[in-house]
A = this chain, B = another copy of it.
Amino acid sequence: MSDSQRFPVAAHALAYLAHKDAVAPDAAVSSAELAASMPTNPVVVRRVTAMLAKAGLIATRPGANGGAWLIKPADQIGLDVVLRAVNGCAHLGMPPPGAQGCPVGERIPEAVRSAITAADQAAAERLSRITVADLLKAA
């Protein structure tokens, strides 16, 4: 996967929602306002918020005064969940090459793949210890 800005955008958006106490439909924040704080394009924000909504982290509402709000406490949203919501997975160069007839060559990719998944899990475990609320505390 290419260099993606989606995870930073998602984390920023969630932190912004937490900062604005957007925890109910009548406090929804529009994609335009979120985009202005990055800064980036409202469409990019909506692409990310749609994924976060499908992951059950936020809810969105169309129409006037619409937008997004948190449906989970900010201190209960780990960044590993955010990463999985927008990216599927971390990546160090995911697909190892497939080997061929060579007996050793066939098993090396398997070992490489397990090393990569171990590293991905370590990154996810580290991210799970950081919550959206922590992003504001650190500021």
A positions within 8 Å CB-CB of B: 1-9, 11-12, 15-16, 19, 36-40, 79, 83, 87, 90-100, 102, 104-105, 107-116, 118-127, 130, 134-136, 138-139
Copies of this chain, tallied across the complex = 2
A94 neighbours in B (Cβ, 8 Å): 3
Do residues A3 and B93 form an inter-chain contact, with CB atoms below 8 A? Answer: yes
Do residues B119 and A90 form an inter-chain contact, with CB atoms below 8 A? Answer: yes
A90 → chain B closest CB, angstroms: 6
A19 neighbours in B (Cβ, 8 Å): 104, 108
* Residue among B11, B87, B92, B107 making CB contact with A7, cutoff 8 Å: B92
A102 → chain B closest CB, angstroms: 5
